[in-house]
Structure 1
């Protein structure tokens, strides 16, 4: 692991790091905030997954999570959203696919399958590294994300309910298999058979029997992607049918930007901390 930068923040440390990723076959960059409590004890981990066109830096620079994470004693890990590098296949004129648009899955179709293995990177490669280099308690993990990253948080939580103690999202793509800005990506990464997309679609996973303890979702009412791309009511319908508790908060006047995310980031961190610190009966 190479240190790109480290700086003290709110008594803890904000770092940016690079590894040679075996999963993605390229160098991958990620950010980790460690709270001051990590000097003396293991701390729970919150994973934050970013949206289309983002890197680790968007939430690190604009998400405003450090003060509350330091107060609550949370490690916050912010991975990149896709593989990177000149040798990684891409569609440079398509912001909804390729670099910057990994969709948090392991691609199965050529030429994408060699590098686009974000699910393996986030579930296997990065946790092992975080555990080795930081004071992380991997028995207490939560996951959250925005937009494409909200999609990622939902599907990874549903497929790994024994790993994540809580899951929340800002403006998630809840049914990527039918939204115009995500369906083409699933087809290119996974092939033309829609049946293969179901394990990467939150509503379909729930329909097929996946369960999670509860979800928290914030959605801006002035989000330009709300009606065609995000459609949170589809998640509400799926959760109601499955008996999964969902708190969906429609935030009046907020859009899709980090002005929205940063306004409610502390709410989400407190919500996660409550669940990460619950004692077993």
Structure 2
């Protein structure tokens, strides 16, 4: 598969790169960002996959997350995919929480979304294979994290693929699309009315159905305007407790849902991943 180089910028002791390719999953061009720390020739580095939230492209985390210094320090590659397929031929919606920029990391089954909205396959299968073939990543040392809709994606991808990730994190995740307005809207549109089909995209339901992961950490601001109505962190921690699955929950007093919150705690979050990603 051919990669098109978009840009490279020197940042700390590494390179922030942007690439584009034709995706077989979505049937569209897809753009992703990758930060590669300096390393000795032939060395393979651990990797963290970052899934962004509603309205984001690959650029939001790249420009606002403040991950580069920490990744340079710890020698970790950091990958930021887009959140949906894009283009004039791709179905869209006039509201921010559905359509382009709001793929929810699902494989859509309903028209007109099914033609291109195959983000589960893209982030779970296609992009990892592409990255493994073209960048110096050690696929035995993977971590995953994300923000909001991307936190939902990180948790569900990890729960569906036990053993793939040594570390699973999330900032202000949508923990249960089955139990919030954002999820109800998106999953009805992408997957249809049968809520049984939604369970594989709901971290709480996956845990109740027997899925387990090790080394899970959640960052959540107490002043997040979406905490009570959309995120409902307690549903995840309750499910983990009932399943005797450990989760390291960090409630950050006074922080909201924004990238100001994410960037404040990103270095510490990456440090936690780094300890688990050591050879």
Q: TM-score, normalised by structure 1?
A: 0.97
Q: What SS class does the counterpart of residue 37 from structure 1 fall into?
A: coil
Equivalent-residue separation in structure 1 for 2:40 and 2:74 (angstroms): 11
Residues 175 and 235 of structure 2 are in contact (CA less than 8 Å); yes or no, is this contact kept in structure 1? yes
Q: After TM superposition, list the pairs within 5 Å mapping 1:156-235 onto structure 2.
A: 156-235=157-236
> Quick one: distance in 2 between partners of 1:124 and 1:38?
28
Q: Which residue of structure 1 aligns with residue 24 of structure 2?
A: 22
Deviation (angstroms), 1:38: 5.8
Q: Counterpart in 1 of 2:269?
A: 268
Partner of 1:78: 80
Distance 1:267 1:107 in 2: 35
Partner of 2:60: 58
**For residues 112 and 202 of structure 1, what CA distance do their matches in structure 2 show?**
23
Equivalences for 1:23-38 in 2 at 5 Å?
Answer: 23-37=25-39
> Residues 241 and 32 from structure 1, CA distance in 2 versus in 1: closer, same or farther, beyond 3 angstroms?
same
Aligned residues: 277
Q: Give 5+ residue unaligned stretches, structure 1.
A: none
* Post-superposition CA distance 1:136-187 (Å, at most 9, x none): 1111111000000000000000001121111000000001111012211101
State the shift of 1:214 in Å: 2.9
Residue 136 of structure 2 corresponds to residue 135 of structure 1: yes
| Deviation of 1:39 (Å) | 4.1
> What residue number does 1:258 align with?
259
1:177 and 1:194 in contact (8 A); partners too? yes
Name the SS for the 1:248 alignment partner: strand
d(CA) in 1 for partners of 2:53, 2:109: 21
2: CA distance, partners of 1:214 / 1:189: 30
- Mean Cα deviation higher: 229-238 or 175-184: 175-184
- How many Å apart are 1:111 and its aligned residue? 1.3
Q: Could you list the runs of 5+ residues in structure 2 that have no partner in the other structure?
A: none
How far apart, in 2, do the equivalents of 1:174 and 1:184 lie? 15
Structure 1, residues 232-255: CA drift from partner, whole Å, max 9, x if none? Answer: 011010000011111111101101
* 8 Å contact kept, 1:214–1:244: no
The within-5 A match list for 1:117-136 is 117-136=118-137
